[in-house]
Amino acid sequence: HLVQSGGGLVQAGDSLRLSCTAPRRTFSTNHMGWFRLAPGKEREFVAAISRTGESSYYGDSVKGRFTISRDTAEYTVYLQMNNLKPDDTAVYYCGATLTSAASIPNWKTYAYWGQGTQVTVST
């Protein structure tokens, strides 16, 4: 339902940008978020942006390094990741949710998901 692109193998300190394109209706009615899943760890909230684009939310581990944005003409959400660290290595998933703002960091509220993309950060 959601189509992701970006990701890859980079060195610590490098930058990457992930993209997530949604159908028009999904994009205009849902909050859009990014989560990541690393081996042996639980799914972690990374960032989200409200359906209006007025509010953005970040997980503590990425604040100040990652930026979420949206392009309303392309129905696409971006995750700009700067100063990447080895701990950022994971499969990243974008999702869409109709939930309230308070529940945006809860992955269980997301109805639609992208296919996932691997991000690997080497030392």
Q: What is the pLDDT of residues 96-111, one digit of tens each?
A: 999 998 999 999 999 9
Q: Would you say 8 and 120 are in contact if contact means Cβ atoms under 8 Å apart?
A: yes
pLDDT at 58: 98
- pLDDT confidence bin for 47, thresholds 50/70/90: very high
pLDDT at 110: 97
pLDDT at 116: 98
pLDDT at 73: 96
Q: Would you say 118 and 7 are in contact if contact means Cβ atoms under 8 Å apart?
A: yes
95, β-bridge pairs = 33, 113
**Whole-angstrom distance, CA of residue 105 vs CA of residue 35:** 9
- pLDDT confidence bin for 72, thresholds 50/70/90: very high
- pLDDT confidence bin for 94, thresholds 50/70/90: very high
Alpha helix ranges (H) inside 1-123:
24-29
Residue 33's H or E segment, with its range, is: strand 31-37
